[in-house]
């Protein structure tokens, strides 16, 4: 299991300290939520900020584009240092073309699905994807309530990935924390995005490690 803390919940006035803290805690990816105020009702940051924080860490930058016409901006985010570029299937007309373009510029290509978008729409592009991101909230804000139907979608996506592209990662994003991290991983998620669960904790380093332990640690008697 990989943990991808969402910097949406970080304090940007001290972002290099926040990133150093996440590295200490053992974060795998840095999840960057890019919002344009059109695809989602919120605004975050563009390529300049991504390029600036690129200097703070060598960790994988997992860019989640919640923007309309993502094809116009993927090159800029790649140049700024994004390693994984995920766009929303609902936000572009020619998804296969964009997946292939993202790979051609040296990034890993991801597609995200909103809670209302069926997993079946991935069938004809699954082999072009390096990551599928299942939204377990409607995108736009951190700290929202988990939508339980996501669990079914994770299972469906896991089956699709196992059958057609086992190297593809399966990420879940939105409302994940102590109450549901074990069940979403058991259903097949292998990358877990978490914002408020980590950053609202009194000790975010200990919290990230505790969240990981909920998935990875088995009782002593259960070990082989
Ligand atoms: C929501 C974003 C998420 C968000 C997750 O639109 O895509 O990455 O930051 O935050 P939590 O974990 O607080 O739901
Ligand atoms: Zn996200």
Spell out the per-residue pLDDT of the chain, length 224, in tens: 999 999 999 999 999 999 999 999 999 999 999 999 999 999 999 999 999 999 999 999 999 999 999 999 999 999 999 999 999 999 999 999 999 999 999 999 999 999 999 999 999 999 999 999 999 999 999 999 999 999 999 999 999 999 999 999 999 999 999 999 999 999 999 999 999 999 999 999 999 999 999 999 855 544 44
Question: Can you tell me the distance from the alpha carbon of 75 to that of 80, in angstroms, rounded to the nearest whole number?
Answer: 9
CATH number at residue 82: 3.20.20.70
Q: Report pLDDT for 218.
A: 57
Q: Is 31 in the pocket of ligand 1 (CB under 6 A)?
A: yes
Task: Give domain status of residue 221, yes or no.
Answer: no
Q: Report pLDDT for 224.
A: 40
Task: Give domain status of residue 223, yes or no.
Answer: no
Task: Give domain status of residue 222, yes or no.
Answer: no
In the block, residue with structure tokens 């058991």: 186
Q: Which residues are catalytic?
A: 33, 173
Provide the domain limits for residue 201.
2-216
Q: How is the beta sheet containing 84-88 ordered, strand by strand?
A: 2-5, 191-194, 169-173, 131-135, 108-113, 84-88, 60-66, 29-35
Task: Give domain status of residue 146, yes or no.
Answer: yes
Using a CB cutoff of 5 Å, list residues around ligand 2, an ion.
33, 64, 173
Q: Is 115 in the pocket of ligand 1 (CB under 6 A)?
A: no
Task: Give domain status of residue 15, yes or no.
Answer: yes
Task: Give domain status of residue 65, yes or no.
Answer: yes
Task: Give domain status of residue 144, yes or no.
Answer: yes
Q: Report pLDDT for 217.
A: 84
Q: Is 165 in the pocket of ligand 1 (CB under 6 A)?
A: no
Task: Give domain status of residue 224, yes or no.
Answer: no
Q: Which atom of ligand 1 is nearest to the CA of 174?
A: 14
- Tally of domains within the chain: 1
DSSP track, 93-146: S-HHHHHHHHHHTT-EEEEEE-TTS-GGGGTTTGGG-SEEEEESS-TT-SSPPP
């Amino acid at each position: 299991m990989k943990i991808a803390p969402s910097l949406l919940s970080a304090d940007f006035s001290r972002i290099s300290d926040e990133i150093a803290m996440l590295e200490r805690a053992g974060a795998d990816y840095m999840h960057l939520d890019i919002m344009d105020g059109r695809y989602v009702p919120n605004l975050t940051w563009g390529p300049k900020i991504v390029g600036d924080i690129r200097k703070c860490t060598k960790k994988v930058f997992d860019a989640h584009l919640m923007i309309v016409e993502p094809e116009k901006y993927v090159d800029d985010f790649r140049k700024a240092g994004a390693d994984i570029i995920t766009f929303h299937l609902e936000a572009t007309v020619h998804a296969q073309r964009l997946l292939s373009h993202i790979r051609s510029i040296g990034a890993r290509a991801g597609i995200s699905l909103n809670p209302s978008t069926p997993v079946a729409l991935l069938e004809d592009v699954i082999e072009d994807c390096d990551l599928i991101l299942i939204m377990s909230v409607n995108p736009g804000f951190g700290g929202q309530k988990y939508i339980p139907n996501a669990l079914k979608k994770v299972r469906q996506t896991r089956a699709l990935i196992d059958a057609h592209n086992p190297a593809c990662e399966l990420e879940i994003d939105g409302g994940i924390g102590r109450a549901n991290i074990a069940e979403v991983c058991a259903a097949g998620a292998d990358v877990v995005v978490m914002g408020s669960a980590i950053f609202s904790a009194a000790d975010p380093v200990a919290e990230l490690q505790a969240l990981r332990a909920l998935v990875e640690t088995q009782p002593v008697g259960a070990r082989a």
